[in-house]
Amino acid sequence: MKIALMTRNPRLYSHQRLIAAAEARGHEIVPVDYLRCYMNITSSRPELRYMGAALEGFDAVIPRIAASHTFYGLAVLRQFEMMGVYPLNESVAIGRSRDKLRSLQLLARDGVGLPVTAFAHDTTRTEEVLQMVGGAPVVVKLLEGTQGIGVVLGETHKSAKSVIEAFHGADVNILVQEFIKEAEGEDVRAFVIGGKVVAAMTRKGAEGEFRSNLHRGGSAQPARISPDERATAITAARSMGLNVCGVDMLRSARGPVVMEVNSSPGLEGIENSTKVDVADSIIAHLEKHARPGRTRTRGKG
């Protein structure tokens, strides 16, 4: 196969591992900086160009789009889809997962366990919003935040109210969620490929840090997940329509609750902690499923 790897930085661990895995299995893989792509969207024959040449002859595309470049990255991915190139994750599915509010609404629709979550624009209803999620402590999240950035813990009613009103004063959209105290700063990431959990790890926040992101000094250990956690991860991936994703869950007193479904999960933490060759499994999935024009949405939606 000839595979396009959509990335701005092919030197990152995850991208180097995908390149190595593809080449080890006999495929050609070409890093493509999606911000340097341009396209003809008026032609009856969709065209995508990069560095002065047409991007042609690809069998599959692996999108690794940074959250800050979601809009343009998805436009490029849709163009690949319109050209009949099979995407590891479809543009519509990535768009769902990147919209925190929409993703939670879809997960709730499908019966996936979630923290009690509130969303409101009217700051005069802050008291009601706090009551809705069970009162302080609460977690306040920016809808556009990633890797733990824009996530604040309101430990008391007064501090939570101040944080919510401050964010609204800055005219940004936020979610307010219950704080799962029994998780004790630890979460579970289940890595799903093709409807199966291939690896799982627990992530523990640094001392004094309630966020467990590895980018913020957290640590990772291999995890043995329960059948309920496995089923929750698989259902969450299906709800988003993602073939490959990391599903982040907290272990609450009422069972697993999903915090986020990540459409471009990093490979370093999961591979180093579990010793599972996740990159090879991703390429194997492409080998099994990549066919011309097999995108369900064909770039629509």
Residue-wise DSSP of 128-156? HHHHHTTSSSEEEEETT--TTTTEEEE-S
How much is the pLDDT for 125? 80
Q: Which residue bears the tokens 């030197």?
A: 11
Distance from CA of residue 88 to its chain's centroid? 13
Instruction: Mention the CATH class of domain 117-179.
Output: alpha beta
Q: Alpha-carbon distance 2 to 150, whole Å?
A: 38
Q: Alpha-carbon distance 70 to 67, whole Å?
A: 5
Strand partners, 219: 204
Domain 2-89+285-289 has CATH 3.40.50.20: yes
Phi-psi map region of 275: left, alpha, beta (phi>0 left; psi -120 to 50 alpha): left
- Give the count of beta carbons closer than 10 Å to the beta carbon of residue 9: 11
Two structure tokens written together for 259: 């915090």
HSE on the CB side for 208, CA within 13 Å?
A: 0
Q: Which residue bears the tokens 């007193």?
A: 253
Q: Alpha-carbon distance 84 to 88, whole Å?
A: 13
Q: Which residue bears the tokens 């009856």?
A: 44
* Multiple choice CATH, 96-113+182-276, 3.30.365.10, 3.30.470.20, 3.40.1280.10, 3.40.50.300: 3.30.470.20
- What per-residue string of b and e applies to 15-35 under the rule 16 or more CB within 10 Å gives b? bebbbebbeeeebebbbbebe
Q: So where are the chain's domains? A: 2-89+285-289, 96-113+182-276, 117-179
Indicate the helix (H) or strand (E) that contains 115: none
How much is the pLDDT for 213? 57
Q: Are 258 and 247 in contact (CB under 8 A)?
A: yes
List of residues 6+ apart from 71 with CB closer than 8 A? none
Q: Alpha-carbon distance 217 to 110, whole Å?
A: 33
pLDDT digit of tens for each residue in the chain (301 aa)? 999 999 999 999 999 999 999 999 999 999 999 999 999 987 778 899 998 899 999 999 999 999 999 999 999 999 999 999 999 999 999 999 999 899 999 999 999 999 999 988 776 788 898 999 999 899 998 876 555 577 888 999 999 988 888 887 777 788 899 999 888 889 999 999 999 999 999 998 766 555 555 555 577 899 999 999 999 999 999 999 999 999 999 999 999 999 999 999 999 999 999 999 999 999 999 999 998 766 665 444 4
Q: 190 to each of 47, 187, 249, how far by Cα in Å?
A: 37, 10, 8
How much is the pLDDT for 204? 85
Q: Alpha-carbon distance 92 to 299, whole Å?
A: 8
